[in-house]
Amino acid sequence: MYASSLISSSNLKKVRTKKFALSLGLALPFQPRMQDEKTMDNILKFSEQSAHEMVHRTLDPVYALNIFTRLKNVFSKLDYNSHCNSIAVLIRPDNESVTYLNFRVKPIIYFNKYVSLLELTANADSQPDFYYLVLEQSNANLFEYHHNRLNQVYATKQVPGLNEKTNPETLFKQVLQTIERLNGHNQKPVFITGCPKLVELFCSSSLYPGVFFRLLDNVAPFDEEIIKRLVKEIISHWNYWQSKFLMDQIMIAQKANVLIAEIEMVSQALRNGVDGLLLIDKRLKQRLYKSRRANALFNTADELMNQVERFLISGNRIEITEAGSLQQFGGIVLLQNRPSHFFRLSPVCNAGKFNNTDTF
């Protein structure tokens, strides 16, 4: 039972008046499959304490107790069997909800009249997360950088007798099949380096999907120290690579005819239950919030915000891009989920800068 039973019916109505109709929203890491119980308990306790202090600065103790008790009740019912990365909790005057997110968000707490799921999830914790492919004359190694750790996820030997002077299609096919299985929807960037001649053959192969970033600034063999140094360089420029990767995703989606732009079209797609990755320009996000607070006649604002909430609840992902980056698309883009074969588009080596090698 929620703490609303502690307040008389006449006083409870005041909670829903303009003065007290405030909502509490929290976004925090929640990874039952990755975090131990003690770590998760500490995160929840710290969140409770922070929310408690914020609410008590605004409301009388009785009303603050109502909200805080409801929050504790929500926390007590969290699903520890979920495979999520974060949760977003909303305690509104009339209801409460928890949304399990498959992406990481920065911890944040809001307490105001207009807090929304979009506002909570707009601060994605974009930690480096990518694949790193090393091609050498006789083998290929694929690494994954995830949760601040570099792990080898695949290694293969080239067929005897094949080298960069012949056509090592068998090696390329094995590598690409592995990457497609792990990253079929192009959710993470893939960096490729190695023997320059072999990388060039790989990128000019008819099998190559055209969506990797080439990094060629070392001479083989690529020992462990060189690989770690190159990974460190990628991490140090992660904001650049992430922005470039998003722009490449947009271009690829355009070619595959799976891109939806402009508020009206995106809202209609969300209403029809289309899944994928939603990108919102920071300027549009600010306009949506401002419109809600001013009760302006921005006809699609409330509908879009509601559709975005349902989109996130369905397990999809959202990212807020740099201000002005999506101006040509009306400030919003939906990249529909599609079969992985859509990414077999072109023999070019880089989707963003054709045939150019990226350097640090």
* Average pLDDT estimate for 310-322: 89
User: Sorting pLDDT into bands at 50, 70 and 90, what band is 168?
Assistant: confident
Class of the 259-337 domain? Answer: alpha beta
Question: Is 69 exposed, middle or buried, given 0-12, 13-18 or 19+ CB atoms closer than 10 A?
Answer: middle
**For the segment 171-219, what is each residue's pLDDT rounded down to a tens digit?**
888 888 888 888 877 788 999 988 888 888 888 877 776 678 888 655 6
pLDDT at 298 exceeding the cut of 60: no
Give yes or no for a cis peptide into 189 (omega within 30° of 0). Answer: no
Q: What is the per-residue pLDDT for 103?
A: 85
pLDDT at 305 exceeding the cut of 60: yes
More confident call, 47 vs 355: 47
Buried b (16+ CB within 10 A) or exposed e, 215-240: beebebebeeebbeebbeebeeeeee
141 closest CA partner among 169, 168, 179, 167: 179
Q: What is the per-residue pLDDT for 15?
A: 42
118 closest CA partner among 134, 94, 143, 99: 99
**For the segment 213-248, what is each residue's pLDDT rounded down to a tens digit?**
888 655 666 778 888 888 999 999 998 998 899 888
Residue 308 CA: distances (Å) to CA of 132, 302, 316: 33, 10, 10
Question: Is 98 exposed, middle or buried, given 0-12, 13-18 or 19+ CB atoms closer than 10 A?
Answer: middle
| Residue linked to tokens 């891109």 | 259
100, 89 Cβ separation under 8 angstroms = no
Q: Where in the chain are the domains? A: 3-121, 130-244, 259-337
Q: Name the fold adopted by 130-244.
A: Nucleotidyltransferase; domain 5 (3.30.420)
* Average pLDDT estimate for 156-170: 62
Q: What is the per-residue pLDDT for 219?
A: 60
